[in-house]
Each structure stands twice: as structure tokens, then as C-alpha cells.
Amino acid sequence: MTRVTDGIPLRQLDLDTLLPYLDLHLVGATNGVRLFRAARLSWAGTPYEGDFERLRQEIGEERAFLKRLIKSLGHRPGVVKMTAARALSVVADLDPLNPLRRKRTAGAQLELEALQSLLKGKEALWSTLLALSPEAPASTGEAVLNRSVLVELLEASKRQQDTVARVMRETAPARFLRY
């Protein structure tokens, strides 16, 4: 394949390694949407509920983008991996780190730290794809690895991490200090 668009020619991408990598990130994104929904439930009725709902929506949109990217490379996400993702997302709904949805427990802290880890992994994905995308400005046609979109996604992942870090900072005293 020699189609060249806003990214690099498809023949230069090693799809044998890239596609499984993208599939695994799609599995992570599927679970991420559910974990952020669980976090929103954990923080319902607090000033942070809106933050977690916004993050859930953003991650859902990014997941849809990733799925479209995979399909644009001529691949269909692996059935076994996606079945596993759906099964794991049921576990994510149960919120195993904070099943009672308490805000003043070690489980709440671990839930926030797990969300940070997910976001850090997503940052690594966009950074990796950006490394594969040339510096060239956008051209016409469907983007394979659209540099400007990848830059936006990378910046969004950093903002998302900042949001979760702020919630951790602002709520840690209630968990770990006695009054």
C-alpha cells in the first residue's frame, strides 16, 4: 500500500507490530471509559463529579478515534481482545479498588492512582504515534497519522492527568489526616 496522506505512507508502517499495539490500547480505552464512570459514581455529589464525567466523555471520544484509526489501517480490532475488554469492563464497573465508593479510604486513593496510570499509558500511545508521524503539514485526504490531531490528543491526556492529580491533592488530606 502506498497511500500517502497527512501521515506517512502505509507501506512504511510495520502493521504486524503496530496493530496489536493499537488493539491493546483499545482494550485499555474500553476499560478506561468504565473506570472513569465508576469514579464519577464514587465522587457523585462532590465538586469532582463533573470532572470525572467530562473525563469519561473525553476518553470515550478518544476510544472512538482510536477505533477509527485502527479501521483506517485496514484492521478490525481482535474479537478475543475486545471480548476480554468487555469482560474486564464489567469488573471495572464494580470498582474493585473502591467498591464501597468511599472517598476517605486508601481505596479511593488507589482508584485515583489507577486512573492516573491509565492516562499516563494513553499519553505514551499518542506520543509514540506522534514519533511515527512526520513533521510535514497536513495534506489532503484521509489522515493515517494526523500530526495535528495527535498533538491535540497528547495535550488532552496531559490536561486529564492534571485534573486527576488536582483531585488527589485536594482530597488527600481528608483521607490521610486526622482532625
Total Cβ atoms within 10 A of residue 78: 17
Chain segment 124-175, per-residue pLDDT in tens: 999 999 998 875 444 433 457 888 999 999 999 999 999 999 999 999 998 8
Whether residue 6 is contained in a domain is answered as no
Whether residue 3 is contained in a domain is answered as no
Tell me what pLDDT residue 90 has.
Answer: 58
What domain count does the chain have?
1
Whether residue 104 is contained in a domain is answered as yes
Whether residue 77 is contained in a domain is answered as yes
Q: Binning pLDDT at 50, 70 and 90, where does residue 176 land?
A: confident
Whether residue 53 is contained in a domain is answered as yes
Show the domain range for 126: 13-133+140-176
Chain segment 103-127, per-residue pLDDT in tens: 556 677 888 999 999 999 999 999 9
Tell me what pLDDT residue 108 has.
Answer: 78
Are 150 and 123 within 8 A, CB to CB?
no
How confident is the prediction for the chain on average, in pLDDT? Answer: 81
Q: Using CB atoms within 10 A of its CB, is residue 8 exposed (0-12), middle (13-18) or buried (19+)? A: middle
Specify the CATH number for the domain of residue 32: 1.20.1260
**What is the distance of C-alpha 56 from the center of its chain?**
9
Whether residue 150 is contained in a domain is answered as yes
**What is the distance of C-alpha 18 from the center of its chain?**
17
Whether residue 64 is contained in a domain is answered as yes
Which residue type does 17 have?
A: T
